[in-house]
Structure 1
Amino acid sequence: MISIHQPVLLEEVISHLNLRKGGTYIDLTLGAAGHSLEILERLEGDAHLIGVDRDEEILNFAQQKLENFPGKFTLCHDSFSNIREILLKQQINHVDGVLMDIGVSSWQLDQGQRGFSFNKEGPLDMRMDISQALTAEKVVNTYPEHELANIIYLYGEEHRSRQIAREIVSYRGRKKIRSTLELANIVQNTLKYRGKIHPATKTFQALRIEVNQELQQLQTTLGVLPSLLKDHGRAVVICFHSLEDRIAKHTFKNKEIWKALTKKPIVASREEMKKNPRSRSAKLRCAEKPSGAI
């Protein structure tokens, strides 16, 4: 059963996409289709939406959720970094707007069997696309100590990464680490504290990013977007931690390719934060492709 959550910064997304009559739009992180549903509600003329997601289960759910708009959308099971190939298959050269809501979705966290949450018992998986080979279990049990430490430090921004990596390697020397709660307990016992933020939060974030190559995919995708957008086409990116936001911010600073429309990231209102706690860390940035930019 898939639990559905409110799409983050919904009105801000719609406003910044600046939907055009007859335009073509692509939601590269479809998820439960919360944003896409609203986009389809507001599209006019022969406009079309393409939805992309690596997770086949949620893609099937989205198909049912959007069934009231037959012929107005196309869904693709793929990684968003393959946007150029996705559009080629659809015989589309350029689009009017792109949306990216980066990171793990709320419903993925809610499913213990997917292995994303340190609060739910499940296998150490963390794959957004379950057809890929690399899992968090493989990372935790086979990566050298120095590589684990680097991943936890760089992707989790965890300053005690070396200590955590050392304890993981020591533990796996006695017993293979297979479950989420097992790993969470190792980290918690290593750091010996628990405040408002669970001590395993940063480590789990780092492993998820490594398993799914999230930062590399974001970098690649933002790099090819200008060549796929029409003049004055827009890119809207929602990030949930500083590593992603830094990439988007740096990319949109290139004035030869982009016209940044958000000097500072847009954040959720207090009202939205109360209704949807996930929105507290959301940061939206938007940029437009100027006329003639490559």
Structure 2
Amino acid sequence: MNLQYHHKPVLIKESIENLITHKNGIYVDATFGGGGHSNAILKKLDKKATLIALDQDKESIKKNFIKDKRFHLFHNNFIHIRDILNKNRIYKISGILADLGISSLQMDNITRGFSNQYNCILDMRMNQESFYSAQNVLNECSKQELFHIFYEYGEFKNAKKIAEKILKERLKKNITTTLDLVHIFFIKGSFKKRKRFFARLFQSIRIEVNNEINVLKNFLLESSKILLPGGRIAIISYHSIEDRIIKFFFKKGIIINKINFKTIPFKMIHKKVIKPSFQEIINNPRSRSARLRIAEKT
């Protein structure tokens, strides 16, 4: 095994220990990223096991690789998980893991536009083959569309004012860089308050660019079809929007506007959400907002 890029996988002990119930089974790492979770899963599996990994970011695939005959990596969004498995004549699996966060590779690359800490072109595409970027969102979306993005994905109470400021600014010139966006807003208060505002602002735009909420909902539905009875799903999320969707689906088997199961297809392994330990947060500050939920197919 060989990982080229230094990566700190989040909640690795908690997720892997609760995921693997059959050491010769077929498992899926739906969000390969830096490869840390895949590497840990392989260490727990026996020789006859199989691990399928997916990532829509070609840069992650190029920078990180694992040499292991049990391991198979595909360039694709995890919304297509069932299609990928079926093409490889795999119809049921023992477990699936998804880490919904941005990888350190994406965040630290100043050309990708995910962070407001660097001045760079606004991009935020996880799949760089996509034609829809943060610039399209900020310069082309209507006032109503922008309101929806900031209200639903950033949970801003003043979403209308934020949308209006962006519309006013883009009449003067296109919003093309992270600094262009940051300079639109003057946030009174502490450094912590300003940091939280821009974190939520960038988050909401990124969610829209990558269609993250719809992708998650469809992924959850697909997971219920491909897991064996007794198979487990572990999902790490980083904000309340995703966590609510995951929690509701695991408990009720329901995704609003998608499906209503007559019987709940999962049972929760832990009643309470699993959070990083104090020590993990010290070692990896980016883990502080991580939330892990694990469920078993009934």
Quick check: TM above 0.5? yes
Residue aligning to 1:42:
44
Deviations 1:86-112 (A, max 9, x none): 101111011100001013222211111
Question: Are the equivalent residues in 1 in contact too, given 2:5–2:34 (CA < 8 A)?
Answer: no
**Cross-structure match for 2:137:** 139
Task: Give matches, 1:228-243, under 5 Å.
Answer: 228-243=226-241
Stretches of structure 1 lacking an aligned partner (at least 5 in a row): none
- Aligned residue pairs: how many? 283
Give the drift of 1:60: 1.8
**Corresponding residue of 1:161:** 159
3-state DSSP class of the match of 2:122? coil
Matched residues in 1 for 2:189 and 2:156: separation?
14
3-state secondary structure, aligned to 2:120: coil
How many angstroms apart in 1 are the aligned matches of 2:297 and 2:127?
Answer: 31
1:61 Cα deviation from its structure 2 partner: 2.1
Aligned in 2, Cα 1:125/1:194: closer, same or farther, shift over 3 Å?
farther
Partner in structure 2 of residue 259 of structure 1 = 267
For 2:189 and 2:101, how far apart are their aligned partners in 1? 26
| Matched AA of 2:43 | E
CA RMSD of aligned residues (A): 1.3
1:235 Cα deviation from its structure 2 partner: 0.2
Residue pair 1:19, 1:43 contacting (<8 A) in 2 also: no
Matched, 1:195 2:195: no
Q: Which residue in 2 is equivalent to 1:287?
A: 295
1:90 matched residue in structure 2: 88
Contact persistence 1:20–1:44 (CA under 8 A): no
Q: Which runs of 5+ in 2 are unaligned?
A: 253-262
Query: What are the superposed Cα offsets for residues 241-268 of structure 1, whole Å, 9 maximum, x if unpaired?
Result: 0000001000001362001112111001
Q: Which of 100, 103, 111 is residue 101 of structure 2 equivalent to?
A: 103
Matches within 5 A, 1:3-42: 4-42=6-44
Give the C-alpha shift of residue 30 in structure 1.
0.6
Alignment-mate amino acid for residue 271 of structure 1:
Q
Aligned sequence identity (%): 41
Q: Show the counterpart of 1:223.
A: 221
Using the TM superposition, name which of 236-245 and 14-23 deviates more: 14-23
Cα distance, 1:46 vs structure 2 = 0.6
Alignment of 1:50-89 (within 5 A): 50-63=52-65, 66-67=66-67, 69=68, 71-89=69-87
In the alignment, is the contact (CA less than 8 A) between 1:236 and 1:284 conserved in 2? yes
Partner in structure 1 of residue 203 of structure 2 = 205
What residue identity is the alignment partner of 2:277? Answer: S
Aligned equivalent of 1:119: 117
4+ residue runs of structure 1 moved beyond 4 angstroms?
none
Does structure 2 retain, via aligned residues, the 8 Å contact 1:55–1:130? yes
Give the Cα–Cα distance (whole angstroms) in 1 for the partners of residues 212 and 188 of structure 2: 29
1:272 lines up with 2:277 in the alignment: no
Residue equivalent to 2:257: none
Aligned-partner Cα distance in 1 for 2:198–2:59: 27
**Secondary structure of 2:101's match?**
coil
Alpha-carbon distance in structure 2 between the residues aligned to 1:147 and 1:194: 30
Give the Cα–Cα distance (whole angstroms) in 2 for the partners of residues 276 and 16 of structure 1. Answer: 21
CA distance in structure 2 between the aligned counterparts of 1:19 and 1:36, rounded to whole angstroms:
16
**Aligned with residue 130 of structure 1, among 128, 131, 154:** 128
